[in-house]
Amino acid sequence: MSGNRKIQILDTTLRDGEQAPGYSMNLKEKLEVARQLERLGVDVIEAGFPVSSEEDFHAVEEISKVVKRSVVAGFGRCVMEDVRRTWAAIQGAARPRLHIFIATSEIHMEYKLKMTRQEVLERIAETVAYAKSLCEDVEFSAEDATRSDRGFLLQALNTAIRAGATVVNVADTVGYITPPEMYSLVSWLKENLEAPVPISIHVHNDLGMGVANTLAAVEAGAEQVECTINGIGERAGNVALEEVAMALHTRRDHYHVETGINLRQIYRASKLLSTITGVGLPPNKPIVGANAFAHESGIHQHGMMASRQTYEILNPEEIGIYQSQMVLGKHSGRHAFAQRVEELGYLLPKEAMDKAFERFKLLAERRREITDRDIEAVLGSSAVLGVKETYSLKTFVINSGTIISATAVVCLIKDGTTEIENVARGEGPVDAAFKAIDGIVNMDTKLESWTIRTITEGGDALGEAVSKLSCNGHPITGRGLAPDAIEASIRSYVNAINKALAMGES
């Protein structure tokens, strides 16, 4: 680490990101993401909103137990019950933080809170002081701060500081501010706060200026930035951690700051989240998109052959994308596979590595060569991530065409021993297969969406299917991999069923 100023990174993927539609995760998936965030070097992991549900409370409580180096923050309103409940969830953490918020803009106070300015200040003083009596590390957030009256915002932050806040956060809740305005606001706050408490920035991306606003705040002296992996979050999302981290790293000559992020874990974190949620990335997504390091233009290709620096300001190896000369196939052994897994940045316990190697060998029997993308797909499978497989696919037969309705015969194995077969008709091969599975598992589920895409190259490309179900009011995402599109689809549906069953048991 140089003499540059250190910027703290608070990741809110498991709180602000996870509450966005389509990004829900079960407990095991949240724990896996939390472990990866710690490997990534995140300073603060915002684990959830404990008061929102029993499920979220339990997740925050469990994350607090497994995370050892990063601070674990629980999020709640400036309400006494929220503070108590949040503290109960995070008190077992090695380094807990209570993070509480209240809105300070006129529109929020009038229409949402129905409180006067004085009432808001009194609430801040009361709840922050109570939080401080429970936890040494307290962050206070002013919701919709960037649309608040400056003078009142300063009053609110100073009230929180006097009550014991150790970090104060300025939230651009609706992505409204511009970079020059952000620089001006943070600079002014730095000059006028009663004590040198670190200023944090939480920015949304509604107008596409999230990263620019965050970097402007860093230039103005902000000490903490709040972001999410892949920029997930409500509406247009939050600021993407990978974009901020790489901008500060690549242009450290300009910003003169450092973060504690392990850059080589960025790609792994992005892939893990995308795999778990079943939500892919746009190819042109900065830093981690499929085209981020691709060059098709002849002029660009010529420049790249002469010198990589002509058209690439980032090194793919920096974020954990490696180009291996080792070709893996069906004759490759466990040692070679484990070595490649480690090179790709994955740290797996023995049981998970054993399962991953089994999946790799099955895939290698069907493909001549295994690419890094194949390996990453195998590593992201739910069996490797620890989802209990109550049902597994044994065989299926599909009859379909333009002059007959689709018929599917599906055989599943339950609990590793019992074979159950069912036949069903449907509007197409996938619909028929799913209906056959429904007849086997006999669960109250509703298919919300189904997608399939190729994730590797060649005629024997690996297909990834994603099935999103609603089960007892809970959204469930299932994922399946296979060279055959129908098989991948069936595996995704069975995976979703297994997740729903595991959720019911937890």
Say which CATH number the domain at 501 has.
3.30.160.270
Q: What is the pLDDT of residue 9?
A: 98
Predicted TM-score (pTM) of the model is 0.85
Q: Are residues 215 and 70 in the same domain?
A: yes
Q: Which amino acid is at 412?
A: L
Q: Are residues 367 and 489 in the same domain?
A: no
Coil, strand or helix at 228: strand
- Report yes or no on 109 lying in a domain: yes
Contact 229, 270 (CB under 8 A): yes
Q: What is the pLDDT of residue 2?
A: 63
Q: Are residues 120 and 168 in the same domain?
A: yes
Largest Cα–Cα separation, the chain: 78
Q: Are residues 103 and 119 in the same domain?
A: yes
Contact 277, 22 (CB under 8 A): yes
Q: Are residues 236 and 191 in the same domain?
A: yes
Domain that holds residue 357: 324-386
Q: Are residues 15 and 163 in the same domain?
A: yes
Q: What is the pLDDT of residue 296?
A: 42
Alpha helices in 6-94 (DSSP H): 27-40, 54-66, 80-90
- Report yes or no on 285 lying in a domain: no
Q: What is the pLDDT of residue 414?
A: 95
Q: Are residues 350 and 403 in the same domain?
A: no
How many structural domains compose the chain?
A: 3
| Per-block mean pLDDT, blocks of 10 residues, the chain (506 long) | 86 95 87 95 98 96 98 98 98 98 98 97 98 98 98 98 98 98 98 97 98 98 98 96 97 96 94 86 90 56 48 80 68 84 76 84 77 74 66 94 90 95 95 96 91 71 84 83 89 91 71
Q: Which amino acid is at 48?
A: G
Beta bridge mates, 238: 204
Q: What is the pLDDT of residue 7?
A: 98
**Angle separating helix axes 117-134 and 150-163, nearest 10 degrees:** 30
Q: Are residues 185 and 207 in the same domain?
A: yes
pLDDT by residue (tens digit) across 177-226?
999 999 999 999 999 999 999 999 999 999 999 999 999 999 999 999 99
Q: What is the pLDDT of residue 480?
A: 85
Angle (nearest 5°) at CA 291 between 285 and 296:
145
Alpha helices in 195-308 (DSSP H): 210-220, 241-250, 252-255, 266-277, 298-306
- Report yes or no on 291 lying in a domain: no
CA-closest candidate to residue 2, choices 347, 253, 315:
253
DSSP code, position 245: H
Residues 40 and 20: their CA atoms lie apart, in Å, by: 22
Q: Are residues 406 and 378 in the same domain?
A: no
